Amino acid sequence: MKRNPKKIWFRRILRLLAILFLLLSLCGAAFLFYFAYLVLSIDDLPEAQQALTTRFFYDDGEVLAERYVENRYKIPLEEIPLAVQWGTIAIEDRHFRKHYGIDIGGICRALLRNLRERRIVQGGSTITQQLAKNLFLSPERTWKRKIEEAALTIHLERTYTKDEILEKYLNTIYYGHAAYGIEAAARTFFAKRAKELTLAESALLVGIPRGPRYYSPFYNEEAAFRRQALVLERMEEDGYITAKEKEKALAEPLKFRSLSEEEHGLYYLEYLVSEDLKRFHEGDTDQFYRSGLQIYTTLNREMQKAAEEVIANLPVQKTDESGVRQPQGALIALDPQSGEIKAMTGGRSFEETMLNRAVPPTRRSPGSAFKPFVYAAALENGLTADSRFSCEPLSIEDPWSGELYEPTDFGNHFHWRELTMREAIKVSCNVAAIKANLLIGPEKSVEMAKKLGIKSNIQPYASLPLGTFIVSLLEMTSAYAPFANGGIRAEPIFIKKIVSPNGEILFKNKTQKEQVLDPRIAYIMTDMLKDVFAPGGTAAAIRDLINRPTAAKTGTSDSYRNVYMVGYTPDLVIGLYIGNDDEQSLEVSSGSLAVPTWGEFYRAAVRGLPVQDFPRPQGLVDVSICPETGAVQSDHCTLEGYTEIFIEGTEPGTDCAEEGCPYVRPRFWWPWPPLWNRSRAE
């Protein structure tokens, strides 16, 4: 009997369909088993470690700078405006409150619309699915990843409430310009906190995540506002806002943050991260910037801006081969009592040159700004502010270097007379300083400099007072601080504390203090350094700016290569350096360049600070001195004397009469002719 071909093919098709059904059933069962296994095995999914923004603060708590790999801040849902929450749900996942993580209806609607438009115009992922992708999954597109995404989505829905999911989502979604999360977005686009956003601002931000670059108002303002209008329309449709509120939001003018806002403290921050905070990141700055730490610095906002301004505005003499304007400069201001750095800049512009001239390894000759350390050592070794040195040609063989040394004064001149230590400091006499150095021994001067804070390698040469070695500006500025602080040295500090993202204090700085100098010597040094601003002093040009007790010393290195000025009040030490990076001559002295620049910053820095005087310690005496002999002025001396300060016990032991002063009247002296007979004699 012949078989019917149609029946044969029909049976074959049935068998094939049965096999296919069986295979599909097995695949479906395997899929369901694998999916169920994934869901059930995720019992305790660890919190994803996401990069947070590391922030630096001024001493008043205002933000100095932010550093990040991903700009992100975690904030609770209570600090996220309802407009942001409602808008996100309306535009991203309208059925968020109803589904269990996967919206089958939404997927179908998105598929049909995309087919109708012949392009992808609508996604089917829910907020929970997007959160799963952002938190735990790689960006690859495979079936395995899709299954894992679905499993993670179900797990998130089982583990967290809808509000918790929404909070996590709004803290992780990307808004462009390295901003992750609504708080970073609010700061990036509007320079405000998320909780301060208006309805109009919220709607604009809510629309960005669909296309962070296309909908960025910085790149495409028109598209950003179209998207904002769509968000507001959806919010009205879903009953979150009224038509009147929508129209008001559409009419609201928005003010965006400028992307070109100037950053301050860049030299400071670079040094802080690379040196002072090294122990917190062990060289991995990328990981450090992910940490979300809050670093409270010692910088004063107004002083920092003033420091940057005066250095940026230095007169330009030339531009070097690298396009860097010369001369360059650096400025440091610190609190002598706490050691806190209040301002620091290492050049005209960080973008122009990253070389930080304020801190090691950059070192320059300080010139005569080093002399106070020599004179402090002299006071410690028995000399006084009234000790006298003749300023005249001097030719010596330096016993330490073995070279013949013939110092001159500024401009190769001499004073050709005796100068007291006070006078020598005022006019910055080189010969007097070298004689004082040789009298006590240069090793004593080196010892004093090290004690006060100089860490660089300096040698005990005869020329030591003229700063013929190199040190950093940070060293010089901090070494002057004990003069301002009663002989107490406070180690310089750059940060006050470091706080974790959770608010835990990880590190709190403590000022390290040490009494390194007799407070009486510190006071006498300060009193002598005040005279630098008096008529005839090296900084007399700015004496009209000095509106409170202030002491200072200028310095010009050999061949005018560098100019220095370090000065202080009881609550602020200011150090300034100016010079060419190639150390070619400036062809001007400190009085012409450093003094007016220092004065400009001083005027801005002390504005608003209380006027204080340097506290006078016990154990000092004021003595009237005869200018002719240097002895205590006799009651019968006809010269106009002056008052000098001495450490008790170091003042002159005799008066000028005993020293044979020719201007002392006889003890029993009568005018001649006698007063009662003067008319007759006339």
Strand, coil or helix: 550:
coil
Q: Give catalytic status of residue 92 as yes or no.
A: yes
Judged against a pLDDT cut of 80, whether residue 33 lies above it is answered with no
Strand, coil or helix: 241:
coil
Per-residue DSSP letters for 569-627? ETTEEEEEEEE-TT----SS-TTTTHHHHHHHHHHHHHTTSPP--PPPPSSEEEEEE-T
Question: Which tokens is 626 given?
Answer: 């005869």
Per-residue DSSP letters for 643-681? EEEEETT-S-SSBTTTTT-TTBPPSS---SS-GGGHHHH
Residue matched to tokens 């990880």:
506
Q: How far apart are the first and last CA of the chain?
A: 181
Rounded distance between C-alpha atoms, residue 564 and residue 556, angstroms: 6
Q: How far is CA 512 from CA 297, 343, 481, 489, 638, in A?
A: 17, 20, 13, 8, 52
Question: Which tokens is 34 given?
Answer: 């694998």
Judged against a pLDDT cut of 90, whether residue 539 lies above it is answered with yes
> Which of these ranges, 63-77, 162-176, 600-614, 617-631, has the smallest mean pLDDT?
63-77
Rounded distance between C-alpha atoms, residue 483 and residue 566, angstroms: 12
Q: Report residue 38's pLDDT band, with 50, 70 and 90 as the boundaries.
A: very low
How many Cα atoms sit within 13 Å of 556 on the Cβ side?
22
Q: Is 318 exposed, middle or buried (0-12, 13-18, 19+ CB in 10 A)?
A: exposed
Averaged pLDDT for residues 640-667: 90
Q: Report residue 305's pLDDT band, with 50, 70 and 90 as the boundaries.
A: very high
Averaged pLDDT for residues 625-636: 92
> Residue 681: what pLDDT?
40
Q: At what angle do helices 243-251 and 199-206 cross, to 10 degrees?
A: 80
Amino acid at 235: M
Averaged pLDDT for residues 140-167: 76
Express each pLDDT in 479-495 by its tens digit. 999 999 999 999 999 99
> Which of these ranges, 17-31, 96-110, 572-586, 619-633, has the smallest mean pLDDT?
17-31
Question: 564: alpha, beta or left, given left = phi > 0 and alpha = psi -120 to 50?
Answer: beta
Per-residue DSSP letters for 11-77? HHHHHHHHHHHHHHHHHHHHHHHHHHHHHHH-SSPPPP---B-EEEE-TTS-EEEEE-SSEE----G
Q: Report residue 504's pLDDT band, with 50, 70 and 90 as the boundaries.
A: very high
Rounded distance between C-alpha atoms, residue 605 and residue 155, angstroms: 58
> Residue 523: what pLDDT?
99
- Whether residue 674 is preceded by a cis peptide bond, meaning omega within 30 degrees of 0, is no
Q: Could you tell me which residues come within 8 angstroms of residue 211 by beta carbon, excluding any fewer than 6 positions away?
A: none
CATH 1.10.3810.10 is right for the domain spanning 74-251? yes
> Which of these ranges, 32-46, 191-205, 522-536, has the smallest mean pLDDT?
32-46
Q: Report residue 280's pLDDT band, with 50, 70 and 90 as the boundaries.
A: confident
Q: Report residue 100's pLDDT band, with 50, 70 and 90 as the boundaries.
A: confident
Report the percent of the chain where pLDDT is more than 70.
83
Judged against a pLDDT cut of 50, whether residue 121 lies above it is answered with no
Judged against a pLDDT cut of 70, whether residue 49 lies above it is answered with no
> Residue 24: what pLDDT?
64
Of the listed 125, 216, 368, 472, which one is catalytic? 368
> Residue 147: what pLDDT?
65
> Residue 642: what pLDDT?
94
> Which of these ranges, 69-73, 229-233, 570-574, 640-644, has the smallest mean pLDDT?
69-73
Q: Give catalytic status of residue 682 as yes or no.
A: no
Q: What is the mean pLDDT of the chain?
A: 86
CATH top-level class of 373-470: alpha beta
> Residue 53: what pLDDT?
84
Q: Could you tell me which residues come within 8 angstroms of residue 664 by beta carbon, excluding any fewer than 6 positions away?
A: 634, 636, 637, 638, 656, 657
> Residue 21: what pLDDT?
64
Q: Which residue has the higher pLDDT, 409 or 99?
A: 99
> Residue 535: what pLDDT?
95
Rounded distance between C-alpha atoms, residue 367 and residue 520, angstroms: 26
> Residue 559: what pLDDT?
85
Judged against a pLDDT cut of 70, whether residue 143 lies above it is answered with no
> Residue 394: what pLDDT?
83
> Which of these ranges, 81-90, 284-293, 430-439, has the smallest mean pLDDT?
284-293
Judged against a pLDDT cut of 60, whether residue 682 lies above it is answered with no
CA angle 67, 328, 561 (to 5 degrees): 145
> Which of these ranges, 31-40, 290-299, 570-579, 582-591, has the smallest mean pLDDT?
31-40
> Residue 335: what pLDDT?
98
Of the listed 92, 201, 475, 651, which one is catalytic? 92
Q: Could you tell me which residues come within 8 angstroms of residue 113 by beta carbon, excluding any fewer than 6 positions away?
A: 121, 122
Give the DSSP H/E element, type plus range, for residue 442: helix 442-452
Every domain of the chain and the residues it spans: 74-251, 373-470, 619-682
Q: Does 373-470 match 74-251 at the fold level?
A: no
Residue matched to tokens 């601080």:
481
> Residue 9: what pLDDT?
66
Give the DSSP H/E element, type plus range, for residue 280: helix 278-281
Judged against a pLDDT cut of 80, whether residue 120 lies above it is answered with no
Give the DSSP H/E element, type plus range, for residue 165: helix 162-170
> Residue 419: what pLDDT?
94
Contact status, residue 358 vs residue 472, Cβ threshold 8 Å? yes
Express each pLDDT in 413-466 by its tens digit. 787 889 999 999 999 999 999 999 999 999 999 999 999 999 999 999 988 999
Residue matched to tokens 């007759």:
680
**CA proximity to 621, closest of 643, 637, 642, 641:** 643
Residue matched to tokens 């300096």:
458
Report the percent of the chain where pLDDT is more than 90.
59
Residue matched to tokens 């006590």:
440
Buried b (16+ CB within 10 A) or exposed e, 104-138: eebeeebeeeeeeeeeeeeebbbbbbbbbbbbbee
Strand, coil or helix: 87:
helix
> Residue 99: what pLDDT?
81
